[in-house]
Amino acid sequence: MVDTKTKTLGEILRHSGVSRRGFLKFCTATASMMALPPGMVPAIAAALDKARRPSVIWLSFQECTGCTESLTRSHSPSLENLIFDHISLDYHHTLQVASGDAAEAAREEAMHANAGSYLVVVDGSIPLGNPGYSTTAGFSNLQILEETAAGAAAVIAVGTCAAFGGLPKADPNPTGAVSVRDIVTDKPVINVSGCPPIPVVITGVLAHYLTFGTLPELDQYGRPKAFYGTSIHDRCYRRPFYDKGLFASTFDDEGARSGWCLYKLGCKGPMTYNACATAKWNEGTSWPVESGHGCLGCSQPDFWDAGGFYNALSIPVGELSRTVSYATAAGLGLGAVAAGINHRSKVEANRRHGEVTVDDLEKTS
């Protein structure tokens, strides 16, 4: 058994009988997964050859475990396995829940042994309203996050809840939920948003750290540009239909059957930045738009509050018809008042109206 704690990835793979060709193939797939150009493969090979395993602590707060499901059911298990065999997932709230105190001890040990160099992965938002809303082993989410993040090299916020507050933060935000970035301000925080995030995006970010020992370039929302640099709309294969003005108006009309643009059916693709159009879902089978349903915008902050999922993006969030009706009623009422005032002045003017004769004019002049 090779000691995975001290050996590099290249050594481990060669020890388990993987040829150089196999390794290069792995690097090619990794480059593809990290959305890096194929020209980077030699650099990735060189880096992975020397890569050492980082320790990872996974914390789950106010979440639904969808992100963990997404990751553990990701579609290229051997690739992910290699990554995960090679990172040391020392602690995972949900997966180790049965271990009780032993799991907490493992977390503390990992924190001490790898102080300053371990990665913290967080899924779920942190409630500030009352610490009792969400606890693990008797500690509030806030306490655990602050304590664990203190010695971390970086924090990866997986899922829209951890990245932006997500569903728990949706109006009226009963738990006072906040994102990881609202708490951790002195460490690099990488947001891997999505509800759930695309599995290869999660592993892609881990692979990037594993490969280069650095964090990827981030966008204005703290998300890796390689995956979130382009909007769904810009990479959508149905974009030509948007440009031609060909839209599906219902989910079963001719336009829907012909694969036309889903803008009218509420697709939030234009405002949403994610890699679904290329990374796809379910073993590369398809993705929401390809399966005939518009994008919900799940990788954007506050997407729950961004209006009806089936309303076109151009439609305001509020109840416009109600506003229009109330305003019309108010306008008509006030208009009637104005009309009343005008009417009175008119009556007054008419009352003063009298016939003028030449004699009258001569009198006054």
According to CB under 8 A, which residues from 118 to 157 bind another protein?
none
Give yes or no for a contact between 305 and 165, defined as CB atoms under 8 angstroms apart: no
Nearer to another protein, 213 or 270 (CB): 270
- Which residues, numbered 214-253, are part of the site for another protein (CB under 8 A)? 219-222, 231, 233-238, 240, 242-245, 247
Q: Which of 86, 92, 93, 181 binds another protein (CB under 8 A)?
A: 181
Which strand (E) or helix (H) includes residue 122?
Answer: strand 118-123
Nearer to another protein, 61 or 273 (CB): 273
**What's the min distance (Å) between Cβ of 112 and another protein?**
31
Nearest to residue 151, comparing CAs of 121, 185, 106, 187?
A: 187
Q: Which of 250, 252, 284, 360 binds another protein (CB under 8 A)?
A: 284
Q: Which of 97, 217, 253, 326 binds another protein (CB under 8 A)?
A: 326
Distance between CA 254 and CA 264 in Å, rounded? 14
**What's the min distance (Å) between Cβ of 33 and another protein?**
8
Q: Which of 133, 209, 273, 281 binds another protein (CB under 8 A)?
A: 273
Nearer to another protein, 99 or 282 (CB): 282
What's the chain's length in residues?
A: 365
What are phi and psi for residue 318, nearest 5 degrees?
Answer: -75, -175
Nearer to another protein, 12 or 31 (CB): 31
Nearer to another protein, 110 or 195 (CB): 195
Nearer to another protein, 78 or 214 (CB): 78
Tokens in use for 98?
A: 């049965």
**What's the min distance (Å) between Cβ of 204 and another protein?**
11
Name beta bridge partners: 123. 60, 158
Give yes or no for a contact between 225 and 218, defined as CB atoms under 8 angstroms apart: yes
Phi-psi region of 266 (alpha: psi -120 to 50; beta: other; left: phi over 0): left
Q: Which of 278, 293, 309, 310 binds another protein (CB under 8 A)?
A: 278
Nearer to another protein, 7 or 235 (CB): 235
Q: What share of the chain is helix, strand, coil (3-state, %, to 5)?
A: 50, 15, 40
Residue 31 near another protein by CB under 8 A: yes
Name every residue whose Cβ is closer than 8 Å to that of residue 275 and which is 6 or more positions away in sequence: 35, 198, 201, 227, 228, 230, 235
**What's the min distance (Å) between Cβ of 10 and another protein?**
9
Give yes or no for a contact between 161 and 125, defined as CB atoms under 8 angstroms apart: yes
Residue 282 near another protein by CB under 8 A: no
- Which residues, numbered 71-100, are part of the site for another protein (CB under 8 A)? 75-79
**What's the min distance (Å) between Cβ of 282 and another protein?**
11
Residue 25 near another protein by CB under 8 A: yes
Pairing of the two strands 126-127 and 177-178: antiparallel
**What's the min distance (Å) between Cβ of 184 and another protein?**
12
Give yes or no for a contact between 209 and 218, defined as CB atoms under 8 angstroms apart: no
- Which residues, numbered 190-219, are part of the site for another protein (CB under 8 A)? 219
